[in-house]
Amino acid sequence: MKLYNLKDHNEQVSFAQAVKQGLGSQQGLFFPLELPEFELTDIDAMLEMDFVSRSSKILSAYIGDEIAAHQLAERVKNAFAFPAPVAKVSDDVACLELFHGPTLAFKDFGGRFMAQMLSYVSGADEQITILTATSGDTGAAVAHAFYGMENVRVVILYPQGKISPLQEKLFCTLGGNIETIAVEGDFDACQALVKQAFDDEELKKAIGLNSANSINISRLLAQICYYFEAVAQLPQEQRNQLVVSVPSGNFGDLTAGLLAKSLGLPIKRFIAATNANDTVPRFLGNGEWLPNATVATLSNAMDVSQPNNWPRVEELFRRKTWRLTDLVSGAVSDETTKATMRELAEIGYISEPHAAIAYRMLRDNLQEGEFGLFLGTAHPAKFKESVDEILGQELPLPKELAERAELPLLSHNMTADFAELRKFLLK
């Protein structure tokens, strides 16, 4: 597989390099040089396959001969060790539930596949250290994805006292190759420490420093697979009338959906739903890219006003000669999000703020005869405090959270001091 840097098309790298590097020069994103397409008959046959076999075939179409088919299948099997069921919500709407993995959010799919690929391309005798800062969710997904992997040490920094106690339990109780540090400071201070570490060439070399960045191409490729899995679970008549609504923050999930369509998956149109951080819906409305300051909302994983995957979306539309005007996009306020969650609860489906936004946009756009699918990106219990309050009921904790809640925290404490972090990393 060859990929080019969107900021400099002459910079071309292999899949292995793109996975290791994350970004190209000038912070440019990598994008596939070839956009494979399956024949309609291939797609039909693939929809009959099981999740892991089908996903291996999809990933292999992009990655090519850089990884032998059986090796790739083995890695896919390790990564996708939990289901992505389609749950019926009403006669013409269903939710693709992507929250049945170890950290109860769709980020488990991309995170776990990236971990598999990073360890594969790094070679057996190469020691790597993954250093990352988190404000909550990403840290948990990264920690669980790399947990127990040989030759990989994971160090995660987070702001002490500023993430929810349950979130902290989810990734600071693992031990083994996962080390967590509660930093006296805010998220920005954690990010600044990580940045300092990556600027320190001597340190980088000594410990094989690597990032588990969210823009890594391996994550996007992994996410393509569950769009196929969704269609595979639908009856034929719904497959041909399918509209998919994606709750969007950094627009990685939407990019993956568009790549699935580009492979030939029959999806009539996509809806990109955002919260009040509405740079993209405004851009699609008036052609002006004018990010506002980020505002805090109920759907905090989507509080992004400069979505870093957007250049990939534009590039794909350009390459496929699709029209951006065919992409439906809109923003949903916190008030409407709450009302929508209650509406969903009344028809028997408990949801959380992110998915509810996608459902709202879908309901408002779906036409007669169409079938709508929205992405359930996180388990409602992950946002238990707000969900309980909005719905006026007590959600039970799923076992992944309940089990961890009883375990002792294993985090180290540290001031926001790079010298101290450096010493810790070199020990």
Residues that bind ligand PLP (CB under 6 A): 105, 107, 137, 247-253, 301-302, 354, 377-378
Token pair, residue 201, equals 């060439």
Q: Which residue, 119 or 248, has its beta carbon nearer to ligand PLP?
A: 248
Q: Which residue, 77 or 282, has its beta carbon nearer to ligand PLP?
A: 282
CB of 322 to ligand PLP, least distance (A): 19
CA proximity to 190, closest of 152, 162, 154: 162
3-state secondary structure of 274: strand
Calculate the CA 158 to chain-centre distance.
Answer: 19
Q: Which residue, 299 or 411, has its beta carbon nearer to ligand PLP?
A: 299
Q: Which residue, 120 or 374, has its beta carbon nearer to ligand PLP?
A: 374
Element (H, E) at 244: strand 242-247
CB of 107 to ligand PLP, least distance (A): 6
What's the CA dihedral at 217, 224, 75, 380 to 10 degrees? 100
Please count the CA atoms within 13 angstroms of the CA of 86 that sit on its side-chain side: 21
3-state secondary structure of 241: coil
Q: Which residue, 57 or 107, has its beta carbon nearer to ligand PLP?
A: 107
Token pair, residue 360, equals 């709202």
Q: Which residue, 137 or 179, has its beta carbon nearer to ligand PLP?
A: 137
* Amino acid type, 55: S
CB of 374 to ligand PLP, least distance (A): 11
CB of 46 to ligand PLP, least distance (A): 24
CB of 29 to ligand PLP, least distance (A): 13
Decide if 29 contacts 312 (C-beta within 8 A): yes
CB of 13 to ligand PLP, least distance (A): 23
Q: In sequence order, which residues have a C-beta less than 8 Å from that of residue 248 and are 6 or more positions away?
A: 254, 272, 273, 274, 280, 302, 307
Q: Which residue, 179 or 253, has its beta carbon nearer to ligand PLP?
A: 253
Q: Strand pairing of 2-5 and 8-14?
A: antiparallel
Q: Which residue, 16 or 163, has its beta carbon nearer to ligand PLP?
A: 163
**Per-position DSSP letters for 30-75, written without gaps between them:** EEES------HHHHHHHHTS-HHHHHHHHHHHHHGGGS-HHHHHHH
Q: Which residue, 129 or 351, has its beta carbon nearer to ligand PLP?
A: 351
Report the distance separating Cα 115 and Cα 177, nearest Å: 13
CB of 251 to ligand PLP, least distance (A): 5
Element (H, E) at 227: helix 217-232
Q: Which residue, 233 or 377, has its beta carbon nearer to ligand PLP?
A: 377
Label residue 78 exposed, middle or buried (CB < 10 Å: 0-12, 13-18, 19+).
Answer: middle
CB of 235 to ligand PLP, least distance (A): 27
Length of the chain: 427
Report the distance separating Cα 304 and Cα 359, nearest Å: 19
CB of 421 to ligand PLP, least distance (A): 26
3-state secondary structure of 329: strand
CA proximity to 361, closest of 380, 344, 340, 391: 340
CB of 381 to ligand PLP, least distance (A): 12
